[in-house]
Homo-oligomer: A and B are copies of this chain.
Amino acid sequence: MKRELLLHNPRPDGYHVIMELFGCESEKINSRKYLQQTIRTAVKKTGLTNLGSRFHQFDPHGVTGFTLLAQSHISLHTWPEYGYLVLDIFTCGPQSQADLLADHFLERLKPTRVNRQVLRKGYKYNRE
């Protein structure tokens, strides 16, 4: 049986953390490897299920990528020339999980300023 058929879709209620990170170190946010590693570690740390990723390195600079999760997704887009990174973390589960993921990115990317918004999704369909 294919692995994907073993997975169940979690309930839809979750948190979408939408962040803009300013003043990041250019070298870090221009490194596809560093960013992929950051996502991998974050996913592992929180026990989420990785369903696959796509990353792309732009010429001359910039990285764009996402990781699809059984619990939704993480995406990032970077503009190293501005030290600017756009990050989305959407996980179906408790807010503490989304926050833990966000904290991991902040520790690794050390922005000087952050714009952060949190949207609740699927709250109509509450956990039992």
Q: Which A residues have a C-beta under 8 Å from some C-beta of B? A: 4-9, 12, 16, 18, 20, 51-54, 56-62, 64-66, 68-70, 72-73, 75, 77, 79, 82, 84, 86, 88, 90, 92, 117, 119, 121-122, 124-125
Contacts and interface: CB of A to CB of B under 8 A. Distances in A.
Prevailing SS type, chain A contact patch:
strand
Contact of A56 (B16, B65, B68): B68
B4 A56 contact: yes
B73 A20 contact: no
A66 B68 contact: yes
A58 B7 contact: yes
Contacts of A8: 58-60
A12 B54 contact: no
Determine which residue in A57, A77, A124 has the highest number of CB atoms from chain B within 10 A of its CB, and name it: A77
Nearest to A84: B12
26 contacts: A4-B58, A4-B59, A7-B56, A7-B58, A8-B58, A8-B59, A8-B60, A9-B58, A12-B86, A16-B18, A20-B121, A20-B122, A54-B54, A54-B68, A56-B68, A64-B68, A64-B69, A64-B72, A66-B75, A72-B77, A72-B86, A75-B90, A77-B90, A79-B125, A84-B125, A88-B90
